[in-house]
């Protein structure tokens, strides 16, 4: 069974705080790791797709790292803003599963002004 | 760019009704479209993967005669829930991509289906 675990389940921070979440995934036969932001009443928005061990990607104040050998990815948000409030989902594609994405439950972030 | 339109956004209907949900990629050609179902407090569960012009690949446990998927063009896929029953009530969401898992998926807004 291939599981993708995300932690924490939810997080409340103050505006201006920096924060990070974790996504754990099966490291064997790894193919790709995705991060998405899902705001309430909107559709999930792709943030990053990473495939190589050691990958680091950045989009504005959001960045992500990837460790395929130990099976984890971190998502960082620098200087959180209220508009960052959303659920952040990660999904892992595994070559042993026809590369289909397996999704985590997400981390729900609330940024208080 | 990469906009996906899904409709209807909400359906409430009687048991036994068939419901069709459309998923369109508006500004790109999607070689692959995905249909997901999400139960409360659970992760997105892949139901099927469809490629334009070929039969959809259903996940284990998903009845293909119950959930009919048609991917007639590079911009349109439809999911029909046939003879829907209350247990089919759920949130259904589609996505479109230009790859299986090395390309980002672009999602529709989802459809909340309620069967009375």
Phi-psi region of A21 (alpha: psi -120 to 50; beta: other; left: phi over 0): beta
Round to whole Å and give the CA distance between B7 and B20.
9
* Phi-psi category of residue B64: left, alpha or beta, with phi > 0 → left and psi -120 to 50 → alpha: alpha
**B28–chain A Cβ distance below 8 A for any pair:** no
pLDDT digits (tens, 9 = 90+) for A71-90: 999 999 999 999 999 999 99
Cα–Cα dist B24/B77, whole Å: 7
Residue that the structure tokens 């979440």 belong to:
A21
Cα distance between residue B110 and residue B35, in whole Å: 10
CA A44 to chain B, closest CA, distance in angstroms equals 6
pLDDT of B62-106, one tens digit each?
999 999 998 888 899 999 999 999 999 999 999 998 876 788 999
Residues 6+ apart with CB under 8 A from B60: none
What is the DSSP secondary-structure string of B72-99? Answer: EETTEEEEEETT--GGG-EEEEEEEESS
Contact B112/B6 with Cβ under 8 angstroms? Answer: no
Instruction: Select from B30, B42, B44 the residue whose CB has the most chain A CBs within 10 Å, as the one to mutate to test that interface.
Output: B44
d(CA A67, nearest CA chain B) in Å: 16
What are the tens digits of pLDDT across the range A29-86? 899 999 999 999 899 999 999 999 999 999 999 999 999 999 999 999 999 999 999 9
């Amino acid at each position: 069974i291939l599981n993708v675990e995300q932690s924490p389940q939810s997080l409340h921070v103050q505006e201006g705080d920096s924060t990070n979440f974790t996504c754990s995934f099966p490291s064997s036969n790894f193919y790709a790791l995705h991060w998405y932001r899902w705001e309430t009443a909107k559709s999930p928005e792709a943030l990053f797709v990473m495939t190589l061990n050691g990958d680091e990607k950045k989009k504005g104040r959001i960045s992500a790292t990837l460790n395929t050998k130990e099976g984890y990815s971190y998502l960082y948000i620098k200087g959180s803003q209220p508009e960052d409030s959303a659920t952040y989902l990660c999904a892992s594609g595994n070559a042993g599963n026809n590369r289909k994405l397996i999704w985590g439950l997400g981390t729900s972030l609330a940024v208080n002004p | 760019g990469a906009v996906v339109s899904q409709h209807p956004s909400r359906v409430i209907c009687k048991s036994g009704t068939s419901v069709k949900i459309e998923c369109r990629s508006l500004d790109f050609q999607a070689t692959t479209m995905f249909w997901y179902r999400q139960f409360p407090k659970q992760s997105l569960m892949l139901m099927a993967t469809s490629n334009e012009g070929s039969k959809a690949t259903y996940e284990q446990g998903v009845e293909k005669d119950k959930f009919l998927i048609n991917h007639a063009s590079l911009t349109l896929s439809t999911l029909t829930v046939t003879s829907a029953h209350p247990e089919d009530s759920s949130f259904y969401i589609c996505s479109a991509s230009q790859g299986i898992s090395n390309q980002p998926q672009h999602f529709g807004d989802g459809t909340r289906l309620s069967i009375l």
